[in-house]
């Protein structure tokens, strides 16, 4: 009998803990990864509290094994997978399409209607565990310059990079980012690396001060936001009113990027979109931005490791999902688990 592996399992709203489970196996086309580091996302919190919409839409159900931001080492390969993956440090895509539909065949597997999502959708076990099985087709190799912590920041980084691409950021342009959380700060870092003048808008004094500590001088509350021409506005918040605010603030002919998700519908006036000739871009996932994010981290263009406030053990995770700040945590918004 193979030794069990420890995995963090949510069994119901507010009910979770570490369980000893049967270890994963590498089926055809799959690999098994020994997880080194995993990040905790707001999506994980919503599954823990029971608020995540997927639970109500039937795309997910308890018990759930969370974790979609991760890095680790391949320790087993299934049939059809090259042995060259063995021993390689990797991260991987969260969005796993069916591979056969029009969307998958055209490179848009992240919007496949039949997709599973690692640690999120369709019962696919996640990486808040000692080991996880993933399709080899989802893997991205990590160079030596990208350590375990950076590897577990590739997935949120890919989302942020896509937001910056959607904003068409360019040297000398001016971008306003709404929401200085993990995605907002990562977007700010990528926009700064692209040569843009970057401003952030937030609410909580702690998050605003942390943004300033990262070298962003233009950090504002909404009432203090300067009257400047914003070439692009990125909504990385979870406030339902802010997409309309973004549309009001952006310059005519500019771009609004929606990457944050509110718990209730956001309303915008489409007449304003048309009359201001604004391009509005939605970003669902990191998938098309993962490789470029790894490259940016490896070059040192962006270093998001200061965003990690604390690195915990699996056994310490439940209180964090319940809203407790770890003792001794730094000012950043991201929590990691070392496995």
What is the reported pLDDT for 1? 59
Using a 10 angstrom Cβ sphere, with 0-12 exposed, 13-18 middle and 19 or more buried, the burial of residue 227 is: exposed
Task: State pLDDT tens for residues 69-112.
Answer: 999 999 999 999 999 999 999 999 999 999 999 999 999 999 99
Rounded to the nearest 10°, the torsion over CA 286, 243, 188, 225 is 180
What are the DSSP E strand ranges found in the chain? Answer: 5-12, 15-21, 30-40, 64-65, 69-77, 89-92, 95-96, 116-117, 131-135, 139-141, 174-178, 197-201, 218-220, 230-235, 250-258, 279-282, 308-312, 334-338
Q: Which residues of the chain have pLDDT under 70?
A: 1
Longest Cα pair distance anywhere in the chain, in angstroms? 67
Q: pTM (2 decimals)?
A: 0.96
What is the reported pLDDT for 275? 98
Q: What is the DSSP letter of 163?
A: H
Is 306 in a helix, a strand, or coil? Answer: helix
Task: State pLDDT tens for residues 157-211.
Answer: 999 999 999 999 999 999 999 999 999 999 999 999 999 999 999 999 999 999 9
What is the reported pLDDT for 2? 81
Taking the C-alpha atoms of residue 58 and residue 282, their distance in angstroms, rounded to an integer, is 23
Q: Beta strand pairing status for 15-21 and 5-12?
A: antiparallel
Q: How far is CA 279 from the centre of its chain?
A: 23
CATH architecture for the domain at 159-282: 3-Layer(aba) Sandwich (3.40)
Please identify, in words, the CATH class of the domain defined by 5-153+304-338: alpha beta
Report domain extents, the chain: 5-153+304-338, 159-282
What is the reported pLDDT for 263? 85
Q: How far is CA 16 from the centre of its chain?
A: 22
CA-only gyration radius of the chain, Å: 20
């Amino acid at each position: 009998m193979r030794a069990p592996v420890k995995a963090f399992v949510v069994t119901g709203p507010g009910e979770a803990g570490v369980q000893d489970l049967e270890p994963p196996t590498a089926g055809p086309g799959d690999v098994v990864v020994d997880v080194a580091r995993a990040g905790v996302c707001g999506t994980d919190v919503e599954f823990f509290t029971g608020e995540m919409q997927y639970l109500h839409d039937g795309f997910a159900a308890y018990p759930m094994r969370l974790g979609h931001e991760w890095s680790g080492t391949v320790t087993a390969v299934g049939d059809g997978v090259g042995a060259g993956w063995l021993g390689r440090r990797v991260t991987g895509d969260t969005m796993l399409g069916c591979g056969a539909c029009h969307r998958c065949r055209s490179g848009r597997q992240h919007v496949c209607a039949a997709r599973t999502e690692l640690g999120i959708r369709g019962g696919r076990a996640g990486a808040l565990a000692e080991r996880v099985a993933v399709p080899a087709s989802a893997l991205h190799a990590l160079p030596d310059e990208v350590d375990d912590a950076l590897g577990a920041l590739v997935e949120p980084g890919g989302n942020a990079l896509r937001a910056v691409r959607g904003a068409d950021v360019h040297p000398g342009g001016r971008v306003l980012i709404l929401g200085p959380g993990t995605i907002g700060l990562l977007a700010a870092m990528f926009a700064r690396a692209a040569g843009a003048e970057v401003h952030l808008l937030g609410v909580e004094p702690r998050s605003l001060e942390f943004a300033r500590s990262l070298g962003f001088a233009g950090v504002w509350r909404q009432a203090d936001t300067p009257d400047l021409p914003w070439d692009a506005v990125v909504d990385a918040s979870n406030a339902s009113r802010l997409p309309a605010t973004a549309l009001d603030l952006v310059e005519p002919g500019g771009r609004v990027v929606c990457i944050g998700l509110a718990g209730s519908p956001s309303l915008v006036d489409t007449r304003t979109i048309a009359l201001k000739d604004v391009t509005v871009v939605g970003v669902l996932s990191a998938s098309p931005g993962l490789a470029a994010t790894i490259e940016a981290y490896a070059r040192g263009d962006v270093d998001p490791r200061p965003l990690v406030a604390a690195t915990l053990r699996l056994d310490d995770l439940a209180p964090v999902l319940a809203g407790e700040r770890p003792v001794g945590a730094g000012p950043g918004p991201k929590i990691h688990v070392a496995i």
